[in-house]
Chains A and B, each alone.
Chain A
Amino acid sequence: MNTQDDERLRRLLRQAIAPCRRRELDTDLWPRMLRLLGSRPAPRPWFDLALAALAALGLILFPGAIPGLLYHF
């Protein structure tokens, strides 16, 4: 491939691919990232914790149910 071919290829590529107009983002994303890092996860509702405890109690009292549960996972 000679220099003329290279130049032609560059021209064709420029024609085919539109130049990128916006080179920068509208807003700075770093403050949002910092806010996300600083935010604490939402607390689990007490109802869900009570249900989890109930399920754990059920499995402790009836360990024979564990194979049946595993079968359905």
Chain B
Amino acid sequence: MKPHPYLRAYMAGIVVPTLFIPVVFTAFIIARFVYRVDAPLERIVIFPVAFVPGLWGLWNMLWVALHSRRRLPLGLHGAITPLAFMPLGLLVARTVGFEIPGLIPTMIAVVLPVAVILYYLIWKHVVGFFNELLGIA
């Protein structure tokens, strides 16, 4: 294996959410200032901008650390991610005082299955590609 596998794993892991930050930020800005959504979205934007990329990097590092011991496919490893991130996201929203009335049941019923599917596909095909590119997989 090439040197510094964990650093490589971190870098490969943060690519997708880092590319997604402008999209997320633009969506939040349009919702808040164009469509005048009556919710303090600027408070919760800290989670996708500051936390998510680092979490993806750390999650990929964890996969590299576990890979030698347990052969869990990368797609399945990524599919677990929303189960860990969603409670954290809700915790951050609550900490910054963002009210989410009635959102949690919807999240569990709709967002979670869709997120699990999307994360599975993204981790399997995109993060897997970057891992291969950086000589990790």
Contact = CB atoms under 8 A, between A and B. Distances in A.
Closest 4 pairs between A and B when the two form their complex, measured CB to CB: A68-B111, A55-B117, A58-B114, A65-B110
A30 interface: no
A51 B121 contact: yes
Contact of B114 (A44, A55, A67, A71): A55
A31 interface: no
27 contacts: A44-B125, A48-B121, A48-B125, A54-B117, A55-B114, A55-B121, A58-B114, A58-B117, A62-B106, A64-B106, A65-B111, A65-B114, A69-B115, A70-B23, A70-B27, A70-B48, A71-B48, A72-B47, A72-B52, A72-B82, A72-B86, A72-B89, A72-B111, A72-B115, A73-B20, A73-B23, A73-B24
Contacts, number: 65
A65 B116 CA distance: 13
Interface residues of A, number: 18
Q: Tell me whether chain A's interface is mostly helix, strand or loop, or mixed.
A: helix
Q: How big is the B interface, by class? A: 20 to 34
Interface of B: 17, 20, 23-24, 27-28, 31, 44, 47-48, 52, 82, 85-86, 89, 103, 106-107, 110-111, 113-115, 117-118, 120-121, 124-125
